[in-house]
Structure 1
């Protein structure tokens, strides 16, 4: 399953990027200021930045997890279709030979074993030429994959995958491998069941016809069996074919010749063509995957170019408000410096900042009040993440969504973060309910907090 710790391969990166594009087309622009800032700090060409932005947003909003669920559902769908193919193949063999109480009509048996396969093969070839080659089995697999995924965030995954694959016309080869693989398993199951029944029961073989004569049957039988005979399978002679049209032959050699002819025809005209088609589809698939890429000329991607790869850096970009807000969450940066930083957010102007006697080596990042200050600080932290970050907050203010979002975003730009809930000025009481709201909100963010200054921790990294 795909998760945040497993870097997606090329196809999955393209898939996630197209999924995010489709999602934004349906629901409007996403809140992506933090993602864009991280992408700009990481660098790379425009395509790499698009992939990185999509991965950040997909991990934040659940599409990355949904991709793992969809892949798991696709595997379950394949397993269900594999079981269906095995059962269907066994059923074809049983229907072709019967229970042994009556002689087997060789051409009726041949039609039972290969007739539906031939019809579906012709249907797939026509679809390959005129409709993209998906077929009913391909649509069934996509439908089952979505049902087994059971994730509301997976809605755009299947359409996005088809868009990615259709740019190199790879969908026809992917679904071609699926369709031909299904029939390969079906025919292999039929052949194994056929061999098992021939090995454990005695069957007699005849041919019957009202309008066709013996010479026609002889020519048709030998024409069909000529190619399998090149691989060593038995071929009935004219005398045996003529005799089988009059009555069931009781000689063991006659039964074995007809059984060998039937097995050879199923193998050569059923299984081998499907195997060759799978190999051909696989070759086209792997060669086409090398040329997969994004169409960066699409309007949705063109609009992102200046935000992800600006011609000049700007501060204070105003993005459109999203229709749906995402849940705030904290985190930590993996690659940090040895720096320790303390800062305050939205303090009362009567409060003194910075605190006196800051330990040596601890940097004061000031008081964050405006949007411009916030963007400037986050840009700096994204380039030089500190090892330790202390954020001072005034618990007399309510822990609103904007403050918590900023705290969570700051924590994701540092190795470790602690929240300092400042004591009220002398003579002023602190609302216990509001303090409880702060504790609850910070606990949800999983950030440690205290009402005393974490100065020793900032200086040494421990208490």
Structure 2
């Protein structure tokens, strides 16, 4: 089973903790030959995934995730029961039912906990509320040392990558969204097929205060949908129950469902955005040891000149250019796959320098008439051997400017080596197809 980006970074954090405590033992499980030329972060992610597979941690992670999904279904079922149960309890009250009391039961707890989450979420370093309960249950159900390490690595990773707030927010708001949606749908179902009586009721408020409170609750529904408040003076009219039931269902939609839906979508979008921008701290304890090991491995396998001839291995090439010259001259080194086309595009094309005699004629021509510009085409399927570099050094003596055209192709295995060697000696080059 393939791992998501989130899970790969999770395993990388778990592996960082292992490396931090015992890097030597971890490195015994991972051979230098398994490193590639990828970026350090990608190497850390690949290494963590491979070591997790060898230790069996990947299977433990999938088990942890499956348990999380099971708990999500369980908590979702509980949320639906709570929402439906709240409506049933409310509608079983002796008629007529107070509209303010109904709003207080179905809406106020949801709104208060939403405000509490907004106050505490940005200052929390650990999961709170339903997220904390779910994570504790998950750890308890999958209770072993490996599961505890996974939980610790998960928490550390989401803290480092700033994922804690959107993750716990999605869980919390999702739970209350299910409660609100279940309440709203259950309310619509009961009001559609049963007859209930409602009225405006209060014990300690006078009529102006009651009206002001009702208008305050109706502010958003009236602003967005033009919903009218059931008139207090029409409580004895037959149509009042219809108006009251519709108004109550709209209030539940506006104050219990839509705010949570908006919060869930916002948290999920923020989570997806931050997951895409996740980066490993290469200087963190544990990671830095692997990065240093990777640098040593790459230094040991750094590209170098392949000695195709029997020249002096200690020979140091020097590129000294002519002080003056006139005209241009071009040639291809060793072989040319499109000679006719190249000859028509390059000025004064000498030909292909394939043999020792060709190269001597080339140098003799340059010696007799130094050029202002010399262009040498090199197919990067050929190795950068010392004989080729020596020819470039000799050519530079008879030209004011030397440009190497590196012919790139899908089979150009040695492009990077040519580029590094030419950079090392300060030779100008361009890549061509």
Query: Do Structure 1 and Structure 2 share a fold, with TM-score over 0.5?
Result: yes
Q: What's the secondary structure of 1:299's corresponding residue?
A: coil
Change (3 A) 1:116 1:235: same
Is 1:305 the counterpart of 2:297? The answer is: no
Establish whether residue 12 from structure 1 lines up as the match of residue 3 from structure 2: no
Match for 1:82 among 38, 63, 76? 76
- Tell me by how many angstroms 1:225 deviates: 1.7
Output the CA distance in 2 between the equivalents of 1:24 and 1:229.
60
Matches within 5 A, 1:3-402: 3=1, 6=2, 8-25=3-20, 30-40=25-35, 42-98=36-92, 101-131=94-124, 134-149=127-142, 152-232=145-225, 234-236=227-229, 240-242=231-233, 244=235, 249=236, 251-310=237-296, 312-313=299-300
Q: Conserved in 1, the CA contact under 8 Å of 2:19 and 2:26?
A: no
User: Does structure 1 retain, via aligned residues, the 8 Å contact 2:282–2:291?
Assistant: no
Q: Is the Cα contact below 8 Å between 1:233 and 1:260 reproduced in 2? A: no
Shift in Å, 1:72: 0.6
| Separation (CA, whole Å) in 2 of partners of 1:27 and 1:304 | 12
Q: C-alpha root-mean-square deviation of aligned residues, in Å? A: 2.4
List per-residue Cα deviations over 1:187-212 (Å, max 9, x = no partner): 00001111122123221112332321
Deviation at 1:60, TM superposition (A): 1.0
Q: Distance in 2 between matches of 1:262 and 1:133?
A: 37
Deviation for aligned residue 1:234:
4.5
Q: Cα distance, 1:218 vs. partner?
A: 1.7
Segments of 5+ residues of structure 2 without an aligned counterpart are 302-433
Whole-angstrom distance in 2 between the partners of 1:193 and 1:297: 54
| Cα shift at 1:180 | 0.8
SS at match of 1:212: coil
The structural deviation recorded for 1:35 is 1.3
Q: Return the offset for 1:108.
A: 0.9
Give how far 1:150 is off. 5.2
Answer with 1 or 2: which has the greater Rg: 2
In 2, distance between residues paired with 1:133 and 1:211?
A: 42
CA contact (8 A) 2:41 2:282 kept: yes
Q: How much has 1:233 moved relative to structure 2?
A: 6.6
Q: Could you give the per-residue CA deviations for residues 63-118 of structure 1, whole angstroms, max 9, x where no partner exists?
A: 1111111111110111111011101101111222225x421011111111012112
